[in-house]
Homo-oligomer: A and B are copies of this chain.
């Protein structure tokens, strides 16, 4: 089995996830610039989630690029990742509409950590499939993935001290991932 249709389906789901978040941006009835002010936290959380979903799409793209064989377990590991990503629009809306209060910010972190775990499981399942030696050599130790999960966990805990501490940590993780996985790019170039 090749990866093409799994890529196509994932592209579809991720494209919808990244786009339906914008439906939360309800146009205000006020037609002055002041009318947009209440939307600022909604726009802020949209931008953060857009970047996060973009990071997942980029890494997913790189990951499947060096994957040669998939099996039934990989299809389910992929759906499991898409499940957690599909909850991002919900936590984004809850967080944005409530001006980044603590529980929504903590739950946002939980979805991020669960997505990261799902991505790790997908990588392991792909590595376990026979014939994916290129992937194994390209990935290495996944230090960045492990560090991210630790930072997410600290962020979730700090959300109850002050939500902006959590957000700062989530943004920090996004920043270290914004650079796509050079390890893979180097291998395939």
Please give the residue numbers on chain A whose beta carbons come within 8 Å of chain B beta carbons, in ascending order: 1, 5-9, 11-20, 22-23, 25, 27-29, 31-33, 35-36, 47, 50, 54, 57-58, 61-62, 65, 71-72, 75-76, 79, 82-83, 86-87, 89-90, 93-94, 97-98, 101-104, 107, 178-180, 182, 185, 188
Contact = CB atoms under 8 A, between A and B. Distances in A.
A19 B16 contact: yes
A136 B86 CA distance: 36
A50 B19 contact: no
A103 B37 CA distance: 13
Contact of A20 (B19, B54, B65, B75): B19
A27 B86 contact: no
Residue among A9, A23, A103, A179 with the most chain B CB within 10 A? Answer: A9
A64 to B, nearest CB: 8
Contacts of A102: 31
Nearest to A61: B5
Contact of A185 (B29, B32, B72): B72
Contacts of A79: 50, 54, 57-58
Contact of A33 (B83, B90, B103): B103
Nearest to A88: B22
B86 A61 contact: no
Q: Which 7 residue pairs across A and B have the least CB separation, nearest first?
A: A12-B15, A72-B180, A27-B94, A16-B19, A27-B93, A31-B101, A54-B79
A109 to B, nearest CB: 14
A25 to B, nearest CB: 5
Contact of A9 (B11, B22, B33): B11
Contacts of A5: 7, 11, 61
